[in-house]
Each structure stands twice: as C-alpha cells, then as structure tokens.
Amino acid sequence: MPDHSFPMPRSVGAVNWIGLWTLTRREIRRFLKVWVQTVAAPVVTTLLFYSVFALALGGVVRMVGDVPFLVFLGPGLVMMSIAQNAFANTSSSVLVSKVQGNIVDVLMPPLSAGELAAAYVMGGVARGLLVGLATAAAIWIFVPLGLYAPQFILFHAVAAAMLLSLLGLIGGIWAEKFDHMAAVTNFIVTPLSFLSGTFYTIDSVPPAFRFIAHLNPFFYFIDGFRYGFIGQTDGTLTTGILVMTGANLVLLAVVLRMLSSGYKLKA
C-alpha cells in the first residue's frame, strides 16, 4: 500500500497557473497595502503639475491646434502617471527583494522565466492603470476630457504600462543598490518622459528636435493616448503601434534572457 502520510507532488503542467496567479496577486497586494503612497500620492503630484500650468496661464485660453492647452495637457499627464508608476512597481519589487535577500523566495518555486516576467509585468500594469484611472478622474473634475477613440486609449495605456514594467524589471535586475535604480530613473525614464511631447506639441519644435522626438518610444504612447481623447496627433498612429509593439518584444526578450540566466539574481 502506498504511504499517503506525506503530500504527493503536484503536477504543474505546461504553465504553472497557481504559481503565476500567486505571484501576480502578491505584486498587486504589495502596492495596494500602501495605497496612499503608491496610488494617492502620484495623483496629487500630477494635479500639482496641472495646477502649475493652469496658474501660469493666468486664465488665458491658449490653443494647441483645435483644443485648449489644458485639455491637450491632461492626457499626457495621465499617461506619465501610468508609465512612471508601472516602472516604479516592478523596479522596486525586484530591487527590494534583492537588497533584503528574499529574492530566493521567488526563484525557488517552479516558475519559468516567462511566468516570472508575466507576473511582475501584470503587477506593474495593474498599478499603472489604477493610478492612471484615478488621475484621469481627478483631472476630469477641472477639465472635461472627451473620449474620441477609446480603443486607442486602452491599447496605448496597456502597451505603455507593459513597456515601463519591462524596463523596470531590467533596471531592478541590473541594479545592486538604490543609487543604481535612481540613476536609471533620472537619466533614462525622466528625460524620455519630459521630451516625449507631454507638455508641448512636437510640431512646435525645430526639425532637429522633431527628429529626435520620433526616435523616442515614449513619444508614441503619449501621442496615441492623447489621440484617443482629443482626436489630434503629431505622428502616425500605425507607426506608433508598430514601434510600441516592437519595443515591448525587444524588452521582453531581454527580460527573459536575464531571468533564465539568473543574471545578478543567483549567486
């Protein structure tokens, strides 16, 4: 007779759905537990940005194309909130685990590189979209934002959150201390965000800067996301979709390589 005093091994299958869902849930509960810091604070920061521009205009209605500047500005600020918080979620999760020495709790279970990447990215996307939704609702109180093409809003929000979540994973795996992560934020994420056309239209800058802007993948998700609200774009939507899809695939390949090789994760 077989001895059933000990639990039998669980058959995982092609995809470890239980492990994938458990890690995803942990990542979501991780930022929800401190929602004042991870959700409310970014909304307040974005509203301060918006208030500065509104006060600087002094009640003067400036137009960008066919829409007022404050209406033009709103979607860009929402997208910045989505992107930056998706990046912060994955980068901090991995780096804190490495610094505290409990990254082994993630590496030991039977989770493949793809499952690890999917769980971390879904956690980052969840935080980014939640912050973006809260930010949009807050801005909507002051400026009525329309819904010109909701499908573009959804696609660019998810694609941008995925891109920054993957970039955050790469940064978190590469970084060995918080100073390294701050360097990635200050020298890569912040410059690309501010030079993406969030606060201005690309058509208003000199041709050389316009060319540089079109090399910035952040420009395409800002531009496509804004188009979904106001129906106005500075670039080509098809090009933007292709660039964002390609960038996500490239970053995913890098993440999978880093996770499968144990780069800076395994002693």
In a domain, 229, yes or no: yes
The Cα–Cα gap between 132 and 221 comes to 14
Tens-place pLDDT, residues 41-56: 999 999 998 988 888 8
Q: Which residues pair with 68 in a beta bridge?
A: 63
pTM reported for the whole predicted model: 0.92
Radius of gyration of the chain (CA): 20
Question: Considering its fold, how many domains does the chain have in total?
Answer: 1
- Name the burial class of residue 150, with classes exposed (0-12), middle (13-18) and buried (19+) by CB atoms within 10 angstroms of its CB: exposed
In a domain, 266, yes or no: no
Strand partners, 63: 68
Whether 233 is in a domain gets the answer: yes
Q: Is residue 251 part of a domain?
A: yes
195 touches 216 (CB < 8 A): yes
Domain assignment present for 80: yes
Q: Model confidence over 4-18: pLDDT tens digits?
A: 565 655 666 688 999
**Is the pLDDT reported for residue 143 higher than 60?**
yes
Residue 89 near residue 124, CB atoms below 8 Å: yes
- The structure tokens 């780069």 sit at 263
Top pLDDT among 81 and 6 is at 81
| pLDDT(195) > 60 | yes
| pLDDT tens-digit map of 89-106 | 999 999 999 999 889 999
Q: Measured at the alpha carbon of residue 233, what is the angle toward residues 85 and 135, in degrees to the nearest 5?
A: 30
Q: In whole angstroms, what is the distance from residue 168 CA to residue 82 CA? A: 13
- Gap between the Cα atoms of 240 and 250, Å rounded: 15
Across residues 212-222, what is the average pLDDT?
91
Q: Is residue 59 part of a domain?
A: yes
Task: Note whether residue 9 is domain-resident.
Answer: no
Res. 212: pLDDT tops 90: no
Of residues 62 and 130, more confidently modeled: 130
Is 127 part of any domain? yes
**Residues 189/82, Cβ–Cβ less than 8 Å:** no
Q: Is 131 helix (H, G, I), strand (E, B) or coil?
A: helix
DSSP-derived 3-state class of residue 68: strand
Which stretches within 33-149 are classed as H helix?
35, 41-57, 69-100, 104-107, 113-140
Q: What is the C-alpha separation between 131 and 38, in angstroms, rounded?
A: 8
Does residue 32 carry a pLDDT above 90?
yes
Binned at pLDDT 50, 70 and 90, residue 251 comes out as very high
Containing structural domain, residue 232: 17-261
160, 165, 176, 18: which is closest to 78 by C-alpha? 160
Query: Dihedral of CA 38/44/47/48: which sign?
Result: negative
Model confidence at 223, pLDDT cuts 50, 70, 90, reads: very high
